[in-house]
Chains A and B, each alone.
Chain A
Amino acid sequence: MGAPDSGVTLSRDKTSGDALETSRAVPLTPGRYIALPQLRLPFRNLSYRYKIPLSVSFVILATALVISTALALQAYHDVRRELVAGAESLGKTLARTLAPIMLRDEMWSAYEMIVTPFEGEPAQDSRGKVTVVLNSENQIYVSSHPSVFPTLQPLTAAGAEYTGLAARLASASPKAPTVLEGVVPGHLVVAVPILSDDLTLLGRVLVLYSESLLLQRIEATLLQVLVSTLAVLAVLLPIGWFAGNRIVEPLVRLAAVFGKAGREPSPRIAQNLYTGGDEIGQLGRQFQGMLHELEQKQALERQMIAASRLASIGRLTAGIAHEINNPLGGMLNAINTCKRHGDTDPVTARSISLVERGLVQIKETIAALLVEAKIESHALTRDDLEDVHTLVLPDAARKRLVVRWSNEIAGSVPLPSTQLRQVLINLLLNAVQAASENGYVACSVRTEAEHLVIDVSNDGAPLSAKQLEHLFEPFSSEEGTGLGLWVVYQITHQLGGEIRVTNGPPLTRFDVRVPLETAR
């Protein structure tokens, strides 16, 4: 979805789903394209936050409309049927009563008979209902509205619109009532024959009901339907809107989380994810997995970068140390020679001594930088480690620290003792330095699965992000010589081990694992 407008997607045929997107060209023959109209869905850019509630509301409205229309139509048909039935029954009653009256030719009685049903009705109703009595010659005998339907005139005297009716009546059944719809414009006509006892046709009763009467009667029903529809909508629309919002809410959250991915820490993002069992929930969980993998990848990258940087620094320092050590050795030899011949004046002797001390300091610094793991030494023993413990205790006592010491090494371990003592002492001094006043330092040395494990932790403030980034680099720390962890790293690295740092709180922990020589 949502290919960028600038991109041009080629679709293979017109029926492709992509045609709805921004595709604009269809290859008919290789190399020839014709333009397709750009199709856009309405509200394509509208948020689902509105789209779904709007759709739900639309469905509710459509349903209400359909039901109301059906009800109104039903009411219309009912009223119409009722009206026809009413007209027919009125016609039949009048026809029966009028038969003897017409036989006796009592015009006034006939008139009274046909106006009686409309007596007391409002004027607008009486206009909609007309009763006409025709005699056997189809002339108007009497009517409820004599001014419109003049007595003893043909039906057409009432107006041209009755021409069709007159024609239809000439051929209408002489026995049964006839319902004529649409013969007189805007009127419903029921014609009932007036029969004498021997079934001679004496005339016909015409009951004409205006369509407006129908509308009048249906008005109340329509109003009722409208009111109930509005009431139902007043209840359903808020519910529909609320339900739509509930449905779309996880999706909106997911979209927000997607947007934040890579810009904010993954755990914080993942907190906001909806993880229900439905599709959005599945999507959320998959996204959570992706975030996790992304994080791991990033961590791995960081590690690799750090390792390669440390390797570069190692190579650089080794190169520099080598380049410095060669002239340095020469210079120290020269000074030795000078001192050995002893024919120097005091000023020269003092200068030579000054130069010698400086050179020795350079040599020591270089030696410290150029960690040499290959120095032969005896195998590591328990006592070597205990010595380190003893060495560190005075510093720990100064900060009134609790030192939990655990040495599980019994006998000797096939690893060079000098280097590992260096590792341990640097880790411990670092821990003592980082621990808070009256704090806590723990150290555990043990062998585990063909590895020597040195595990040192302290309760000091956790390492800052900047500290972590340059953790093992030389001179990255402002405290101490700045070479402690560099030494630890170099030795561990050269012995094929690894260091895992767990950054507190509560504890900052350095976990060094070095494979035993027998394992290598």
Chain B
Amino acid sequence: MTALRDVVRRASFSRWSLVAAARVHVLRRAHRLPREAAALLACAAMFALLLVAPTLLAADNALSRPIRFGTTAVILEDQVAILRSWKGYLEERLGRPVRFVHRGSYQEITELLSKDQLDFAWVCGYPYVRNRSFMRLLAIPIYEGRPLYQSYLIVPKSDTTTRSFRDLKGKIFAYSDPNSNSGFLVPSYELVRLGENPSIFFQKSFFTWAHSKVVNAVAAGLANGGAVDGYVWETLQQTHPDLTAQTRIVRKSALYGFPPLVARASMGERDFRAMQEVLLGMSQDAQGRRLLARLNLDGFAPDDPHVFDGIAEILAYVQARQPGLVGSGVAANASRAPRLEAN
């Protein structure tokens, strides 16, 4: 209550200073004050306002600090429009401002979460499995009726001979993100299972930092093959059929837990529940369903950590045989220069 009273007091002071500044002008006209004197008065009033304003804003923030929601390239490229609608939807339901924080890689989002710089994030199952210590599972998107998806191995359409990973030995390969399950862990696992060392299997591999760009790279022929999120490929086929038509799916992996939405571990229970409720309820109202349709999702499922057991298993498998490839924790992930460009 004292805080509230303080805010009210400061707010009235700031209003006073504004009014004072406005009145200086009237005063000058009424009393024919010299222009310089009037200017001095007005400056003084504005200065008073400036002194007070930051503290005032801070107080307002404390009242309705925006929820920081981290996203990455998991979502598709026309995400800005979708995120704007989703932001409006969430703000309306939560009664609080929501700010989407977009980063170029999972690594950055993971780090922000670990430092409490984000409240929620849409990450991949692989970073989630590795960072359960500071990530709390919030909701799992439901795709084609299940909270599961696959990793696709794709090659250019012109390549009609490749039947498996083995055929890509010594070629150029495109991954999406070193912390992506479908775009890195799954193909690495498949190679390890074939008895290969993924770090030397290809002549050259590179990261595109977005699943859709893996499709681009393979379609253009820059890479001879690529690992892509099946959900992204299927969604692209709906929105950009000409692009996916230039690729051919060689192999679809087993089903893994869909990239989940997580909260920082330190998140208050009330805020966590509020957000979870809104997300789970999205499939219940028309506006939410429209948003889900644009995201090519059916809805959100409540937390079920067993969904990600598959990822944990293959991670353990790869870790046991190629520890250098995946490291043993967050710190082991390849640190890279922050990237400015978004997906």
Chain A interface residues toward B at CB < 8 A? 104-108, 111-112, 115, 142, 146-147, 150-152
* Contact of A146 with B222 in the complex, beta carbons under 8 Å: yes
Measured between beta carbons, the chain A residues less than 8 angstroms from B203 are 152
From B112-120, B205-213, B265-273, give the one contacting chain A. B205-213
Q: Cβ of A107: which chain B residues have Cβ within 8 Å of it?
A: 204, 206, 222
* Contact among B158, B172, B221 with A152 in the assembled complex (CB-CB below 8 Å): B172
Nearest chain B residue, comparing its CB with the CB of A104: B337
Q: How far is the CB of B79 from chain A (nearest CB, A)?
A: 18
Q: Are A108 and B221 in contact (CB under 8 A)?
A: no
Given A107-B222, A108-B213, A111-B220, also A151-B207 (CB < 8 A)? no
Given contacts A147-B158, A152-B172, contact A106 B206 (CB under 8 A): yes
Given contacts A146-B220, A147-B221, A151-B222, contact A108 B204 (CB under 8 A): no
A108/B207 contact (C-beta < 8 A), A147-B158, A151-B172, A152-B172 known: yes
Counting CB contacts under 8 A, is B174 at the interface? yes
A147-B158, A152-B203 as given contacts; A111 in contact with B222, CB under 8 Å: yes
> What are the residues of chain B within 8 A of A106 when measuring CB–CB?
206-207
A142: B residues at CB distance < 8 A: 222
Q: Which chain B residues have a beta carbon within 8 Å of chain A's beta carbons? A: 156, 158, 172, 174, 203-204, 206-209, 213, 217, 220-223, 337
Q: Compute how far the CA of A216 lies from the CA of B241 in the bound complex, rounded to whole angstroms.
A: 31
Interface of A is mostly: loop
Whether A150 contacts B221 by the Cβ 8 Å rule is yes
Q: Which residue of chain A is the closest to B203 with respect to CB atoms?
A: A152
Give A111 to B156 CA distance when docked, in angstroms.
17
Can you report 12 A-B residue pairs in the complex whose CB atoms are below 8 A from each other? A106-B207, A107-B222, A108-B208, A108-B209, A111-B217, A115-B220, A146-B220, A146-B221, A147-B220, A150-B221, A152-B203, A152-B204
The winner among B158, B213, B221, B222 for most chain A CB atoms within 10 A is B222
- A115 vs B172: C-alpha distance when bound (angstroms): 19
Q: For residue B156, which residues in chain A have a CB less than 8 angstroms away from its CB?
A: 147
A94–B316 alpha-carbon span in the complex (Å): 43
In the assembled complex, the CB of A147 is this many whole angstroms from the nearest CB of chain B, namely 4
Docked Cα-Cα span, A106 to B339, in Å, equals 12
Question: Taking the nearest CB of chain A, how far is it from the CB of B313, in angstroms?
Answer: 30
Evaluate whether A108 and B206 lie within 8 angstroms (CB atoms) in the complex, with A147-B158, A151-B172, A152-B172 already known: yes
CA distance A261 to B207 in the complex (A): 103
Task: Kindly state the separation between the CA atoms of A152 and B224 in the bound complex, as whole angstroms.
Answer: 12
> Which residues does chain B contribute within 8 Å of A104, judged by CB atoms?
337
Chain A residue with minimal CB distance to B214?
Answer: A108
What is the bound-complex CA distance between A312 and B303, given in angstroms? 156
Q: Nearest chain-B residue to A111 (Cβ)?
A: B222
Docked complex Cα distance between A108 and B223 (Å): 9
Nearest Cβ distance between residue B48 and chain A, in whole angstroms? Answer: 48
Given contacts A108-B174, A108-B209, A111-B220, whether A151 and B337 have CB atoms under 8 Å apart is: no
B263 CB to closest chain A CB (Å) equals 31
Min CB distance, A148 to chain B, in Å? 8
Q: A106-B207, A151-B222 are in contact. List 20 more A-B contacts (CB 8 A).
A: A104-B337, A105-B206, A106-B206, A107-B206, A108-B207, A108-B208, A108-B209, A108-B213, A108-B222, A111-B217, A111-B220, A111-B222, A115-B220, A142-B222, A146-B220, A147-B156, A147-B220, A150-B221, A151-B172, A152-B172
Residue of A nearest to B176 (CB): A108
Q: Write the chain A residue with the least CB distance to B174.
A: A108
> Inside 8 A of B217's CB, which chain A residues have their CB?
108, 111
Q: How far is the CB of B100 from chain A (nearest CB, A)?
A: 23
Q: Which residue of chain B has its CB nearest to the CB of A107?
A: B206
Closest chain-A Cβ to B343's Cβ sits at a distance in Å of 12
A476 to B204, CA, bound (A): 133
Residues from chain A with Cβ under 8 Å of B223 in the complex: 151
Give CA–CA (A146, B222) in the complex, Å: 5
A224 to B318, CA, bound (A): 68
Q: CA of A146 to CA of B174 in the docked complex: distance in angstroms?
A: 14
Q: How distant is the Cα of A147 from the Cα of B207 in the complex, in angstroms? A: 19
Give bound CA distance, A146 to B221, whole Å. 5
Closest to B339 in A: A109
Contacts of B337 in A (CB 8 A): 104
CA distance A106 to B206 in the complex (A): 7
Report chain B residues within 8 Å CB of A105: 206
Cα distance A152–B326 when bound, in Å? 26
List of A residues within 8 angstroms of B209 by Cβ: 108
Which residues from chain B contact A151 at a C-beta distance below 8 Å?
A: 172, 204, 222-223
State in angstroms the CA–CA spacing of A91 and B222 once bound together: 20
Residues of B close to A152: CB separation below 8 A: 172, 203-204
Specify which chain A residues have a CB less than 8 angstroms from the CB of B220 in the assembled complex.
Answer: 111, 115, 146-147
Q: Of all chain A residues, which has the CB nearest B218?
A: A146
State A341–B243 Cα separation when bound (angstroms).
164
Separation of A152 and B207 alpha carbons in the complex (Å): 16
**How far is it, in angstroms, between the C-alpha of A105 and the C-alpha of B204 when the chains are bound?**
10
Q: How far is the CA of A22 from the CA of B73 in the complex (A)?
A: 94
The docked-state distance in angstroms from the alpha carbon of A111 to that of B222 is 8
In whole angstroms, what is the CA distance A107 to B216 when docked?
A: 13
How far does the Cβ of A123 sit from chain B's closest Cβ, in whole Å?
12
Q: Distance (Å) between the CB of A196 and the closest chain B CB?
A: 16
Chain B residues within an 8 Å CB radius of A150: 221
Closest A residue by C-beta to B220: A146
Which residues from chain A contact B213 at a C-beta distance below 8 Å?
108, 112
Interface-centre pick from A112, A142, A146, A147 (highest chain B CB count, 10 A):
A146
3 smallest CB-CB distances across A and B, nearest first, come from A147-B221, A107-B206, A146-B221
CA distance A150 to B220 in the complex (A): 10
